[in-house]
Structure 1
Amino acid sequence: MTNEGENPQQPNGEETPNDQNGNNEEPLEQDLGQAAEDEFTREFLVSTEEEEEGFYRMRGELGGFEMLIPKDALISDLLHAIENQKGETLIYTMNNDLEKKQHDVQVMYMGQYPEGTEHNYLNVFKREMGFDGDFSYTEINDLEAHYGSLEYVDDYGPVIKYFGYLFSKEKDQAISFVFGAFCQGEEECVIDLEEESKLAEKIMNSIRLK
Protein backbone atom coordinates (compact mmCIF):
# COMPACT_ATOMS: atom_id res chain seq x y z
CA MET A 1 0.00 0.00 0.00
CA THR A 2 1.41 3.38 -0.98
CA ASN A 3 1.34 6.58 0.97
CA GLU A 4 -0.76 9.44 -0.34
CA GLY A 5 1.10 11.38 -3.03
CA GLU A 6 3.46 8.51 -3.93
CA ASN A 7 3.47 6.90 -7.36
CA PRO A 8 2.58 3.22 -7.49
CA GLN A 9 5.50 1.11 -8.60
CA GLN A 10 5.97 -2.15 -10.41
CA PRO A 11 7.46 -5.06 -8.42
CA ASN A 12 10.97 -4.14 -9.63
CA GLY A 13 10.54 -0.63 -8.25
CA GLU A 14 10.13 1.08 -11.67
CA GLU A 15 7.28 3.45 -12.34
CA THR A 16 4.59 2.26 -14.73
CA PRO A 17 4.61 3.84 -18.22
CA ASN A 18 1.20 5.40 -17.63
CA ASP A 19 2.46 7.11 -14.47
CA GLN A 20 5.45 8.52 -16.32
CA ASN A 21 3.20 9.98 -19.02
CA GLY A 22 0.84 11.43 -16.48
CA ASN A 23 -2.28 9.70 -17.82
CA ASN A 24 -3.92 6.31 -17.98
CA GLU A 25 -5.34 6.52 -21.51
CA GLU A 26 -4.70 3.77 -24.03
CA PRO A 27 -2.92 4.91 -27.24
CA LEU A 28 -5.37 5.67 -30.06
CA GLU A 29 -5.49 3.15 -32.89
CA GLN A 30 -4.59 4.46 -36.34
CA ASP A 31 -7.53 4.86 -38.71
CA LEU A 32 -6.37 2.86 -41.71
CA GLY A 33 -9.58 3.42 -43.67
CA GLN A 34 -11.70 0.86 -45.49
CA ALA A 35 -9.14 0.27 -48.25
CA ALA A 36 -6.64 -1.21 -45.79
CA GLU A 37 -9.25 -2.92 -43.61
CA ASP A 38 -11.12 -4.68 -46.44
CA GLU A 39 -9.44 -8.00 -47.23
CA PHE A 40 -9.93 -7.90 -51.03
CA THR A 41 -9.03 -4.22 -51.47
CA ARG A 42 -5.94 -4.56 -49.29
CA GLU A 43 -4.47 -7.09 -51.77
CA PHE A 44 -4.06 -4.25 -54.29
CA LEU A 45 -2.29 -1.82 -51.97
CA VAL A 46 1.43 -1.31 -52.52
CA SER A 47 1.69 -0.44 -48.83
CA THR A 48 -0.60 0.27 -45.91
CA GLU A 49 1.40 3.44 -45.29
CA GLU A 50 -0.39 6.42 -46.83
CA GLU A 51 1.51 7.85 -49.80
CA GLU A 52 -0.02 11.19 -48.95
CA GLU A 53 -2.73 12.18 -46.52
CA GLY A 54 -5.93 10.29 -47.27
CA PHE A 55 -4.49 8.20 -50.12
CA TYR A 56 -2.75 4.87 -50.63
CA ARG A 57 -1.00 3.69 -53.78
CA MET A 58 -2.50 0.63 -55.42
CA ARG A 59 -1.24 -1.71 -58.15
CA GLY A 60 -3.29 -3.77 -60.61
CA GLU A 61 -3.20 -7.54 -60.26
CA LEU A 62 -1.24 -7.87 -63.52
CA GLY A 63 1.31 -5.36 -62.25
CA GLY A 64 0.79 -3.19 -65.32
CA PHE A 65 -0.39 0.00 -63.64
CA GLU A 66 -0.33 1.91 -60.37
CA MET A 67 -2.44 4.81 -59.12
CA LEU A 68 -3.73 6.51 -55.98
CA ILE A 69 -6.76 5.17 -54.16
CA PRO A 70 -8.54 7.09 -51.36
CA LYS A 71 -8.16 5.40 -47.98
CA ASP A 72 -11.92 4.79 -47.69
CA ALA A 73 -12.42 3.40 -51.21
CA LEU A 74 -13.41 -0.23 -51.78
CA ILE A 75 -12.78 -2.65 -54.64
CA SER A 76 -15.36 -5.40 -55.06
CA ASP A 77 -14.28 -8.74 -56.51
CA LEU A 78 -17.41 -8.47 -58.66
CA LEU A 79 -16.02 -5.28 -60.23
CA HIS A 80 -12.59 -6.65 -61.11
CA ALA A 81 -11.69 -8.78 -64.11
CA ILE A 82 -8.61 -10.08 -65.92
CA GLU A 83 -8.75 -10.79 -69.66
CA ASN A 84 -6.21 -13.12 -71.31
CA GLN A 85 -3.57 -12.00 -68.82
CA LYS A 86 -3.15 -8.85 -70.94
CA GLY A 87 -6.07 -6.69 -69.88
CA GLU A 88 -7.52 -5.70 -66.53
CA THR A 89 -10.70 -3.86 -65.55
CA LEU A 90 -11.16 -2.48 -62.07
CA ILE A 91 -13.69 -0.24 -60.32
CA TYR A 92 -13.40 1.24 -56.87
CA THR A 93 -16.14 3.13 -55.07
CA MET A 94 -16.33 5.68 -52.24
CA ASN A 95 -19.47 6.55 -50.30
CA ASN A 96 -19.81 9.87 -48.49
CA ASP A 97 -22.89 9.28 -46.34
CA LEU A 98 -22.55 12.65 -44.63
CA GLU A 99 -22.79 14.57 -47.92
CA LYS A 100 -25.14 11.98 -49.50
CA LYS A 101 -22.92 11.43 -52.52
CA GLN A 102 -20.92 8.65 -54.10
CA HIS A 103 -17.82 8.44 -56.26
CA ASP A 104 -16.58 5.67 -58.46
CA VAL A 105 -13.39 5.25 -60.48
CA GLN A 106 -13.09 2.78 -63.34
CA VAL A 107 -9.91 1.90 -65.18
CA MET A 108 -9.40 -0.46 -68.11
CA TYR A 109 -5.78 -1.41 -68.65
CA MET A 110 -4.41 -2.85 -71.90
CA GLY A 111 -1.01 -4.48 -71.70
CA GLN A 112 -0.76 -4.34 -75.49
CA TYR A 113 -2.79 -2.75 -78.28
CA PRO A 114 -2.23 -2.64 -82.07
CA GLU A 115 0.26 0.07 -82.98
CA GLY A 116 -1.19 3.09 -84.75
CA THR A 117 -4.77 2.55 -83.52
CA GLU A 118 -4.83 5.29 -80.87
CA HIS A 119 -7.23 7.44 -82.89
CA ASN A 120 -9.71 4.56 -83.19
CA TYR A 121 -9.63 3.92 -79.45
CA LEU A 122 -10.22 7.60 -78.72
CA ASN A 123 -13.24 7.73 -81.05
CA VAL A 124 -14.81 4.67 -79.45
CA PHE A 125 -14.11 6.07 -75.98
CA LYS A 126 -15.67 9.40 -76.90
CA ARG A 127 -18.88 7.68 -78.04
CA GLU A 128 -18.99 5.56 -74.88
CA MET A 129 -18.76 8.73 -72.76
CA GLY A 130 -21.40 10.55 -74.83
CA PHE A 131 -18.86 13.32 -75.34
CA ASP A 132 -19.05 15.43 -78.51
CA GLY A 133 -16.36 17.99 -77.66
CA ASP A 134 -12.62 17.94 -78.23
CA PHE A 135 -10.37 16.18 -75.77
CA SER A 136 -7.81 18.25 -73.87
CA TYR A 137 -4.25 16.97 -74.00
CA THR A 138 -1.46 16.73 -71.46
CA GLU A 139 1.59 14.57 -70.74
CA ILE A 140 2.00 12.93 -67.33
CA ASN A 141 4.39 10.22 -66.11
CA ASP A 142 5.58 9.43 -69.68
CA LEU A 143 1.93 9.08 -70.76
CA GLU A 144 -0.02 10.98 -73.40
CA ALA A 145 -3.38 11.82 -71.82
CA HIS A 146 -6.53 12.84 -73.71
CA TYR A 147 -9.29 13.90 -71.31
CA GLY A 148 -12.60 15.69 -70.91
CA SER A 149 -15.58 16.09 -68.56
CA LEU A 150 -19.37 16.19 -68.54
CA GLU A 151 -21.87 17.70 -66.12
CA TYR A 152 -25.55 16.77 -66.28
CA VAL A 153 -28.60 15.85 -64.21
CA ASP A 154 -30.13 12.38 -64.07
CA ASP A 155 -33.20 11.06 -62.23
CA TYR A 156 -31.40 11.34 -58.87
CA GLY A 157 -29.66 14.69 -59.23
CA PRO A 158 -26.43 16.24 -60.55
CA VAL A 159 -23.72 14.04 -62.06
CA ILE A 160 -20.13 14.84 -62.96
CA LYS A 161 -17.98 12.60 -65.12
CA TYR A 162 -14.28 13.17 -65.69
CA PHE A 163 -12.55 10.80 -68.10
CA GLY A 164 -9.31 10.24 -69.95
CA TYR A 165 -7.46 7.85 -72.22
CA LEU A 166 -3.76 7.54 -71.49
CA PHE A 167 -1.20 6.01 -73.86
CA SER A 168 2.35 5.04 -72.96
CA LYS A 169 5.06 6.85 -74.93
CA GLU A 170 7.42 3.89 -74.68
CA LYS A 171 5.23 0.79 -75.10
CA ASP A 172 1.95 -0.25 -76.73
CA GLN A 173 0.19 0.08 -73.38
CA ALA A 174 -2.88 2.17 -72.58
CA ILE A 175 -5.40 2.74 -69.83
CA SER A 176 -8.80 4.42 -69.78
CA PHE A 177 -9.95 6.31 -66.71
CA VAL A 178 -13.50 7.30 -65.76
CA PHE A 179 -14.35 9.20 -62.58
CA GLY A 180 -17.97 9.73 -61.55
CA ALA A 181 -19.57 11.78 -58.77
CA PHE A 182 -23.30 11.56 -58.13
CA CYS A 183 -25.97 11.64 -55.42
CA GLN A 184 -26.86 8.57 -53.38
CA GLY A 185 -30.35 7.43 -54.36
CA GLU A 186 -32.93 10.20 -54.21
CA GLU A 187 -31.16 12.13 -51.44
CA GLU A 188 -30.35 15.73 -52.34
CA CYS A 189 -26.65 16.55 -52.51
CA VAL A 190 -24.26 19.15 -53.86
CA ILE A 191 -21.86 18.15 -56.63
CA ASP A 192 -19.28 20.87 -57.25
CA LEU A 193 -17.56 20.69 -60.67
CA GLU A 194 -14.37 22.44 -59.58
CA GLU A 195 -13.99 20.38 -56.41
CA GLU A 196 -14.70 17.06 -58.11
CA SER A 197 -12.46 17.88 -61.08
CA LYS A 198 -9.53 18.52 -58.72
CA LEU A 199 -10.03 15.10 -57.11
CA ALA A 200 -10.41 13.39 -60.50
CA GLU A 201 -7.28 15.07 -61.88
CA LYS A 202 -5.30 14.14 -58.80
CA ILE A 203 -6.18 10.46 -59.22
CA MET A 204 -5.74 10.41 -63.02
CA ASN A 205 -2.41 12.22 -62.80
CA SER A 206 -1.16 9.59 -60.35
CA ILE A 207 -1.49 6.77 -62.92
CA ARG A 208 1.71 5.08 -64.00
CA LEU A 209 2.07 2.25 -66.51
CA LYS A 210 4.77 -0.28 -65.67
Structure 2
Amino acid sequence: MKKIILLCFCLLLALTGGCSMNNNEKNNTKDNKTEALKPKEMDPKDLRQVPAFQDEKTREYMVSTKEEEPGYYLLESKLKGFRMLFPEDAEYSDSETSKTNESLFFDSFNKKTNIVMNVSVKFYQNESFINEPENMLDIISGKNKYKGNFEKLETKDKDIYFALKQENFDKEEKPSYIFLGYIKSKKQDYLGMEYSFMFSCSANANTCKQHPKENEEIVKKIINSTTFGDM
Protein backbone atom coordinates (compact mmCIF):
# COMPACT_ATOMS: atom_id res chain seq x y z
CA MET A 1 0.00 0.00 0.00
CA LYS A 2 2.83 2.38 0.92
CA LYS A 3 4.50 1.68 -2.43
CA ILE A 4 1.29 2.56 -4.27
CA ILE A 5 0.90 5.83 -2.33
CA LEU A 6 4.54 6.73 -2.95
CA LEU A 7 4.16 5.95 -6.66
CA CYS A 8 1.06 8.15 -6.92
CA PHE A 9 2.83 10.98 -5.07
CA CYS A 10 5.82 10.80 -7.43
CA LEU A 11 3.49 10.77 -10.43
CA LEU A 12 1.68 13.85 -9.11
CA LEU A 13 4.97 15.72 -8.64
CA ALA A 14 6.04 14.83 -12.17
CA LEU A 15 2.75 16.08 -13.63
CA THR A 16 2.84 19.29 -11.59
CA GLY A 17 6.44 19.94 -12.54
CA GLY A 18 5.62 19.31 -16.17
CA CYS A 19 2.78 21.81 -16.10
CA SER A 20 4.99 24.40 -14.42
CA MET A 21 7.66 23.90 -17.04
CA ASN A 22 5.14 24.33 -19.81
CA ASN A 23 3.88 27.57 -18.23
CA ASN A 24 7.43 28.87 -17.88
CA GLU A 25 8.16 28.00 -21.47
CA LYS A 26 5.03 29.87 -22.54
CA ASN A 27 6.01 32.92 -20.50
CA ASN A 28 9.55 32.87 -21.90
CA THR A 29 8.22 32.59 -25.43
CA LYS A 30 5.88 35.51 -24.79
CA ASP A 31 8.72 37.63 -23.38
CA ASN A 32 10.97 36.79 -26.33
CA LYS A 33 8.25 37.78 -28.77
CA THR A 34 7.75 41.07 -26.92
CA GLU A 35 11.49 41.80 -27.02
CA ALA A 36 11.58 41.01 -30.74
CA LEU A 37 8.86 43.54 -31.48
CA LYS A 38 9.85 47.09 -32.33
CA PRO A 39 8.16 49.88 -30.36
CA LYS A 40 6.10 50.91 -33.41
CA GLU A 41 4.65 47.36 -33.50
CA MET A 42 3.65 47.37 -29.83
CA ASP A 43 0.57 48.63 -28.04
CA PRO A 44 1.37 52.08 -26.56
CA LYS A 45 -0.21 50.88 -23.31
CA ASP A 46 2.67 48.41 -22.96
CA LEU A 47 5.31 51.10 -23.46
CA ARG A 48 6.76 53.67 -21.09
CA GLN A 49 4.58 56.73 -20.62
CA VAL A 50 7.09 59.15 -22.15
CA PRO A 51 6.85 61.18 -25.39
CA ALA A 52 9.48 59.09 -27.19
CA PHE A 53 7.12 56.08 -27.07
CA GLN A 54 3.68 57.61 -26.68
CA ASP A 55 3.97 59.90 -29.71
CA GLU A 56 3.09 57.80 -32.77
CA LYS A 57 5.50 59.41 -35.24
CA THR A 58 8.40 59.42 -32.77
CA ARG A 59 7.81 55.77 -31.94
CA GLU A 60 8.58 54.82 -35.54
CA TYR A 61 12.21 55.88 -35.03
CA MET A 62 12.79 53.99 -31.77
CA VAL A 63 14.96 50.87 -32.14
CA SER A 64 13.80 49.12 -28.96
CA THR A 65 12.44 49.66 -25.47
CA LYS A 66 15.90 49.16 -23.98
CA GLU A 67 17.19 52.18 -22.09
CA GLU A 68 20.71 52.85 -23.37
CA GLU A 69 21.48 55.41 -20.66
CA PRO A 70 19.25 56.89 -17.96
CA GLY A 71 16.60 58.87 -19.82
CA TYR A 72 17.89 57.95 -23.30
CA TYR A 73 16.86 55.40 -25.92
CA LEU A 74 18.21 54.56 -29.37
CA LEU A 75 16.91 56.23 -32.52
CA GLU A 76 17.47 54.96 -36.05
CA SER A 77 16.89 57.08 -39.16
CA LYS A 78 14.41 56.01 -41.83
CA LEU A 79 17.25 55.46 -44.32
CA LYS A 80 19.06 53.44 -41.61
CA GLY A 81 21.98 55.76 -42.26
CA PHE A 82 22.61 56.65 -38.63
CA ARG A 83 21.73 55.88 -35.03
CA MET A 84 21.94 58.17 -32.02
CA LEU A 85 20.75 58.55 -28.44
CA PHE A 86 17.30 60.07 -28.13
CA PRO A 87 15.93 61.77 -24.97
CA GLU A 88 12.82 60.14 -23.53
CA ASP A 89 11.07 63.51 -23.21
CA ALA A 90 11.66 64.45 -26.86
CA GLU A 91 9.29 63.91 -29.76
CA TYR A 92 9.20 64.13 -33.53
CA SER A 93 8.50 67.53 -35.07
CA ASP A 94 9.15 67.14 -38.80
CA SER A 95 11.29 65.32 -41.36
CA GLU A 96 12.40 65.33 -44.98
CA THR A 97 13.68 62.23 -46.74
CA SER A 98 15.07 61.57 -50.21
CA LYS A 99 17.01 58.63 -51.61
CA THR A 100 20.33 59.87 -50.26
CA ASN A 101 19.57 62.56 -47.64
CA GLU A 102 17.42 62.73 -44.54
CA SER A 103 16.52 65.61 -42.24
CA LEU A 104 14.95 65.05 -38.85
CA PHE A 105 13.58 67.64 -36.43
CA PHE A 106 12.57 66.98 -32.83
CA ASP A 107 11.81 68.97 -29.69
CA SER A 108 11.73 68.42 -25.95
CA PHE A 109 10.48 70.39 -22.97
CA ASN A 110 11.99 70.06 -19.51
CA LYS A 111 9.18 70.77 -17.04
CA LYS A 112 11.62 71.19 -14.15
CA THR A 113 13.78 73.85 -15.81
CA ASN A 114 11.21 75.28 -18.27
CA ILE A 115 13.77 74.92 -21.06
CA VAL A 116 12.84 73.92 -24.60
CA MET A 117 15.33 72.06 -26.79
CA ASN A 118 14.85 72.27 -30.58
CA VAL A 119 16.99 69.91 -32.63
CA SER A 120 17.63 69.49 -36.33
CA VAL A 121 19.96 66.96 -37.93
CA LYS A 122 20.60 66.41 -41.62
CA PHE A 123 22.21 63.21 -42.85
CA TYR A 124 24.13 63.16 -46.16
CA GLN A 125 25.50 60.31 -48.23
CA ASN A 126 27.07 60.02 -51.68
CA GLU A 127 27.53 63.78 -52.03
CA SER A 128 30.98 65.02 -53.07
CA PHE A 129 30.99 68.06 -50.75
CA ILE A 130 30.65 65.85 -47.65
CA ASN A 131 34.35 64.97 -47.79
CA GLU A 132 35.29 68.65 -47.52
CA PRO A 133 34.75 69.67 -43.86
CA GLU A 134 35.75 73.27 -44.51
CA ASN A 135 33.08 73.61 -47.19
CA MET A 136 30.50 71.98 -44.92
CA LEU A 137 31.38 74.31 -42.06
CA ASP A 138 31.04 77.32 -44.37
CA ILE A 139 27.57 76.09 -45.34
CA ILE A 140 26.59 75.53 -41.71
CA SER A 141 27.98 78.91 -40.64
CA GLY A 142 26.01 80.62 -43.40
CA LYS A 143 22.76 78.88 -42.44
CA ASN A 144 23.16 79.88 -38.80
CA LYS A 145 24.78 83.31 -39.35
CA TYR A 146 27.75 82.15 -37.31
CA LYS A 147 31.16 83.82 -37.77
CA GLY A 148 33.27 81.98 -35.20
CA ASN A 149 35.50 78.93 -35.24
CA PHE A 150 34.67 75.27 -34.69
CA GLU A 151 36.26 72.95 -32.15
CA LYS A 152 37.33 69.60 -33.61
CA LEU A 153 36.65 66.48 -31.57
CA GLU A 154 38.13 63.24 -32.89
CA THR A 155 36.93 59.72 -32.11
CA LYS A 156 37.86 56.35 -33.55
CA ASP A 157 35.17 56.36 -36.21
CA LYS A 158 34.28 60.03 -36.78
CA ASP A 159 35.39 63.66 -36.70
CA ILE A 160 33.08 66.06 -34.89
CA TYR A 161 33.09 69.83 -35.45
CA PHE A 162 31.45 71.76 -32.65
CA ALA A 163 30.56 75.40 -31.92
CA LEU A 164 28.35 77.46 -29.61
CA LYS A 165 26.42 80.57 -30.55
CA GLN A 166 24.43 82.80 -28.21
CA GLU A 167 21.37 84.41 -29.76
CA ASN A 168 19.12 87.18 -28.43
CA PHE A 169 15.92 87.07 -30.45
CA ASP A 170 14.25 89.69 -28.26
CA LYS A 171 15.95 92.21 -26.00
CA GLU A 172 13.47 91.48 -23.22
CA GLU A 173 13.82 87.71 -23.47
CA LYS A 174 16.62 85.60 -22.05
CA PRO A 175 19.24 84.46 -24.60
CA SER A 176 19.07 81.18 -26.46
CA TYR A 177 22.10 78.94 -26.86
CA ILE A 178 22.69 77.19 -30.17
CA PHE A 179 25.16 74.30 -30.53
CA LEU A 180 25.97 73.59 -34.15
CA GLY A 181 28.42 71.64 -36.24
CA TYR A 182 29.18 68.70 -38.45
CA ILE A 183 29.97 65.01 -38.01
CA LYS A 184 32.06 63.22 -40.66
CA SER A 185 32.50 59.46 -40.87
CA LYS A 186 36.08 58.18 -40.87
CA LYS A 187 35.10 54.69 -41.95
CA GLN A 188 33.39 55.65 -45.18
CA ASP A 189 33.72 58.52 -47.64
CA TYR A 190 30.82 60.79 -48.54
CA LEU A 191 28.99 60.13 -45.28
CA GLY A 192 28.19 62.80 -42.69
CA MET A 193 25.66 64.85 -40.76
CA GLU A 194 25.13 68.49 -39.84
CA TYR A 195 23.36 69.31 -36.57
CA SER A 196 21.86 72.16 -34.56
CA PHE A 197 20.62 72.12 -30.94
CA MET A 198 18.91 75.25 -29.61
CA PHE A 199 18.06 75.72 -25.92
CA SER A 200 15.55 78.44 -25.02
CA CYS A 201 13.36 79.40 -22.09
CA SER A 202 9.73 78.45 -22.59
CA ALA A 203 7.57 81.41 -23.63
CA ASN A 204 5.19 80.64 -20.74
CA ALA A 205 7.89 80.19 -18.11
CA ASN A 206 7.72 82.34 -14.99
CA THR A 207 11.22 81.26 -13.99
CA CYS A 208 13.99 79.93 -16.21
CA LYS A 209 17.73 79.86 -15.77
CA GLN A 210 19.96 78.64 -18.57
CA HIS A 211 22.99 76.48 -17.83
CA PRO A 212 25.08 76.41 -21.05
CA LYS A 213 27.57 73.87 -19.65
CA GLU A 214 24.79 71.44 -18.81
CA ASN A 215 23.26 71.99 -22.24
CA GLU A 216 26.65 71.34 -23.82
CA GLU A 217 26.95 68.04 -21.98
CA ILE A 218 23.57 66.95 -23.37
CA VAL A 219 24.55 67.87 -26.93
CA LYS A 220 27.94 66.15 -26.75
CA LYS A 221 26.37 63.03 -25.26
CA ILE A 222 24.01 62.77 -28.22
CA ILE A 223 26.44 63.64 -31.02
CA ASN A 224 29.18 61.42 -29.57
CA SER A 225 26.72 58.52 -29.58
CA THR A 226 26.07 58.92 -33.32
CA THR A 227 27.03 55.93 -35.44
CA PHE A 228 26.71 55.63 -39.21
CA GLY A 229 25.30 52.53 -40.88
CA ASP A 230 27.03 50.51 -43.59
CA MET A 231 25.52 52.09 -46.67
TM-score per shorter chain, which class? 0.7 to 0.9
Aligned runs of 1:77-88 on 2, under 5 Å?
79-83=94-98, 85-88=99-102
Give the equivalent residue in structure 1 for 2:112.
98
CA contact (8 A) 1:157 1:186 kept: no
Partners of 1:163 and 1:65 lie apart in 2 by 18
In the alignment, residue 206 of structure 1 is paired with which amino acid? Answer: S
Partners of 1:203 and 1:110 lie apart in 2 by 18
CA contact (8 A) 1:112 1:174 kept: no
The two structures have a TM-score, normalised by structure 2, of: 0.72
Give the equivalent residue in structure 2 for 1:185.
203
Task: Give the number of aligned pairs.
Answer: 179
Give the equivalent residue in structure 1 for 2:143.
128
User: Which sections of structure 2, spanning at least 5 residues, go unmatched?
Assistant: 1-45
Partners of 2:96 and 2:204 lie apart in 1 by 30
Match for residue 55 of structure 2 among 28, 38, 49: 38
CA contact (8 A) 2:48 2:54 kept: no
Q: Cα deviations across residues 178-197 of structure 1 (Å, max 9, x unaligned)? A: 11100111534111111111
Partners of 1:65 and 1:138 lie apart in 2 by 19
Q: Which has the larger radius of gyration?
A: 2
The two structures have a TM-score, normalised by structure 1, of: 0.79
Match for residue 164 of structure 2 among 149, 174, 178: 149
Aligned-pair identity in percent equals 27
CA contact (8 A) 1:68 1:206 kept: yes
Partners of 2:165 and 2:204 lie apart in 1 by 21
Q: Compared with structure 1, are the counterparts of its residues 63 and 162 closer, same or farther at alpha carbon in structure 2 (3 Å cutoff)?
A: same
Match for residue 175 of structure 1 among 183, 193, 199: 193
CA contact (8 A) 2:89 2:110 kept: no
In the alignment, residue 113 of structure 1 is paired with which amino acid? Answer: E
CA contact (8 A) 2:52 2:90 kept: yes
> What is the Cα deviation at residue 100 of structure 1?
2.0
Q: Cα deviations across residues 123-169 of structure 1 (Å, max 9, x unaligned)? A: 11112222222111012351111111112332232211111201112
SS in 2 for 1:35: helix
> What is the Cα deviation at residue 109 of structure 1?
0.3
Partners of 2:222 and 2:194 lie apart in 1 by 12
SS in 2 for 1:161: strand
SS in 1 for 2:138: helix
Partners of 2:107 and 2:146 lie apart in 1 by 23
SS in 2 for 1:69: strand
Give the equivalent residue in structure 2 for 1:19.
none
